[in-house]
């Protein structure tokens, strides 16, 4: 991303004095905020405030690390190149639309000027002042807008060619990000495949080690459940029956 574009974005978000911060940020790696502060001669808090504003707009991102001994956090900052470019695209779109409006208004409406004070008025405000200057009392002249329109059109051309350049940069950045993603996906797929293979091998190895003799396992299975669970109630029933018999016999006697 050309630095002039990034400077323009930062200027738009945080103003001219903070523009210098751009020279000490990076689009590929996170930079320690203390380092940035030192380089542009500001306090860490001042730097952080600027960067927070930029991060609200998505122009930068951060990670934070805790200092284990001191217990506070240090922030590390990175430029989000695509987001910054997209923001610039939006800014330029708005400026271009505004310029179109201005040109149309100059071409279709009348403007007035006090030549002495060099103040301009649109038709409505000129009418409310009765076409006389509120400052010096002079009478208004009709403004010749041709020169203004020429300037506006020049400005419009400049904005449109800048937008084209930014569009190119946006596309470049998108392609770059896509390539990185593809590479990452491939790497992950490869790692997953290797992990699955290793797991399969490990289970196969484990199975081959534990091979229980077949006869033993069958016997065990046969011996298991039914007899135990039913034996108790049967015995109890038998006892009950014999008890009843005895009891009956006794009664008869
Ligand atoms: Zn005047």
Expressed in angstroms and rounded, the spacing between residue 84 Cα and the centre of ligand 1 is 44
The fraction of the chain above a pLDDT of 70, given in percent, is 83
Asked if 165 and 127 sit in the same domain, the reply is: yes
Same domain, 120 and 146: yes
Q: Is residue 172 part of a domain?
A: yes
Residue 233 φ then ψ, to 5°: -55, -40
Mean pLDDT calculated for residue range 47-67: 95
Please check the confidence at residue 244 and state whether its pLDDT lies above 90. Answer: no
Is the predicted pLDDT of residue 223 greater than 70, yes or no? no
- Same domain, residue pair 100 and 173: yes
Q: What is the mean pLDDT of residues 86-110?
A: 96
At residue 19, the pLDDT reads 83
CA 99 – ligand 1 centroid, Å: 28
Residues 57 and 110 in one domain: no
For residue 172, report the distance from its CA to the centre of ligand 1, in Å: 53
Question: What spacing in Å lies between the alpha carbon of 107 and ligand 1's midpoint?
Answer: 24
- Output the CA 130–ligand 1 centroid distance in Å: 13
Q: Please give the residue that has the higher pLDDT: either 252 or 34.
A: 34
Claim to verify: residue 71 and residue 93 sit in the same structural domain: no
Q: How many domains does the chain fold into?
A: 2
DSSP string, 74-99: EEEEEE-HHHHHHHHHHHHHHHHHHH
Q: Distance, CA 128 to ligand 1 centroid (Å)? A: 15
Which pLDDT does position 44 carry in this prediction? 93
**Cα 132 to ligand 1 centroid, rounded to whole Å:** 8
CA distances from 186 to 68, 96, 195 (A): 36, 42, 14
Q: Which has more confidence, 70 or 237? A: 70
Listed residues 79, 102, 126: the one ending a domain: 79
Nearest CA to 177 among 86, 55, 76, 66?
86
Share in percent of the chain as helix, strand, coil (round to 5)? 70, 10, 20
pLDDT interval class at 216 (50, 70, 90): low
Which is more confidently placed, 237 or 35?
A: 35
pLDDT in tens, 181-213: 999 999 999 999 999 999 999 999 998 887 666
CATH value at residue 14? 1.10.10.10
- Which of 128, 149, 184 lies at the terminal end of a domain, its last residue? 184
Ligand 1 centroid from CA 141, angstroms: 11
- Residue 141: enclosing H or E segment and its boundaries? strand 141-142
Residue 150 Cα to ligand 1 midpoint, Å, equals 25
Angle between helices 44-56 and 3-14 (to 10 degrees): 100
Cα–ligand 1 centroid distance for 155 (angstroms): 29
Q: How far is the CA of 139 from the centre of ligand 1 (A)?
A: 8
Distance CA 31, CA 128 (A): 57
Ligand 1 centroid distance, CA of 45 (Å): 48
Contact in structure between 23 and 15 (CB atoms under 8 Å):
no
Distance between Cα 82 and ligand 1 center (Å): 49
Q: How far is the CA of 101 from the centre of ligand 1 (A)?
A: 27
Identify whether residues 115 and 63 lie together within a single domain. Answer: no
Mean pLDDT for 24-44 is 94
Say if 243 falls within a structural domain: no
What is the share, in percent, of the chain residues with pLDDT greater than 90? 74
Question: Which residues, listed in sequence order, are joined to residue 114 by a DSSP beta bridge?
Answer: 119
Mean pLDDT of the chain: 88
Burial class (CB in 10 A: 0-12, 13-18, 19+), 248: exposed
Confidence band (pLDDT; 50, 70, 90) for 217?
low
Reported pTM:
0.71
Mean pLDDT of 83-101: 97
Q: What is the Cα 130 distance to its own chain's centre?
A: 55
Residue 225, pLDDT > 90, answer: no
Token pair, residue 175, equals 């392609």
Q: Residue 67's pLDDT is what? A: 86
> Higher model confidence: residue 253 or residue 167?
167
- Which tens digits make up the pLDDT trace of 150-186? 999 999 999 999 999 999 999 999 999 999 999 999 9
What's the 109 CA to ligand 1 centre distance in angstroms? 21
pLDDT at 22 over 80: yes
**What sign does the CA torsion over 49, 53, 55, 59 have?**
negative
Going by pLDDT thresholds of 50, 70 and 90, the confidence category of residue 81 is very high
Residue 103 CA to ligand 1 centre (angstroms): 25
Verify that 21 and 107 share a domain, yes or no: no
Do 103 and 16 fall within a single domain?
A: no
Q: How far is the CA of 110 from the centre of ligand 1 (A)?
A: 18
Q: What is the model's pLDDT at position 241?
A: 61
Q: Give the domain extent around 37.
A: 3-79
- Residue 108 sits in the same domain as residue 158: yes
Residue 59 lies in a domain: yes
């Amino acid at each position: 991303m050309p630095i002039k574009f990034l400077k323009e974005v930062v200027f738009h978000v945080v103003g001219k004095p903070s523009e210098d911060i751009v020279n000490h940020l990076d689009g590929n790696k996170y930079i320690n905020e203390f380092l940035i502060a030192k380089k542009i001669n500001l306090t860490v808090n001042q730097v952080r405030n600027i960067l927070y504003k930029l991060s609200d707009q998505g122009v930068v991102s951060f990670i934070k690390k805790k200092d284990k001994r001191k217990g506070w956090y240090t922030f590390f900052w990175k430029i989000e190149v695509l987001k910054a470019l997209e923001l610039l695209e939006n800014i330029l779109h708005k400026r271009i639309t505004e310029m179109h409006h201005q040109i149309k208004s100059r071409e279709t409406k009348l403007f007035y000027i006090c030549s002495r004070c060099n103040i301009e008025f649109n038709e409505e405000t000129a009418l409310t002042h009765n076409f006389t200057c509120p400052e010096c009392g002079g009478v208004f002249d009709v403004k010749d807008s041709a020169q203004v329109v020429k300037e506006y059109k020049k400005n419009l051309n400049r904005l449109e060619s800048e937008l084209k350049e930014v569009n190119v940069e946006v596309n470049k950045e998108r392609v770059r990000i896509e390539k990185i993603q593809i590479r990452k996906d491939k790497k992950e797929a490869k790692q997953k495949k290797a992990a699955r293979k290793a797991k399969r091998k490990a289970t196969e190895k484990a199975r081959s080690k534990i091979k229980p003799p077949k006869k033993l396992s069958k016997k065990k299975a046969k011996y298991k459940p039914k007899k135990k669970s039913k034996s108790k109630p049967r015995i109890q029933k038998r006892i009950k029956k014999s008890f009843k018999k005895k009891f009956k016999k006794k009664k008869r006697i």
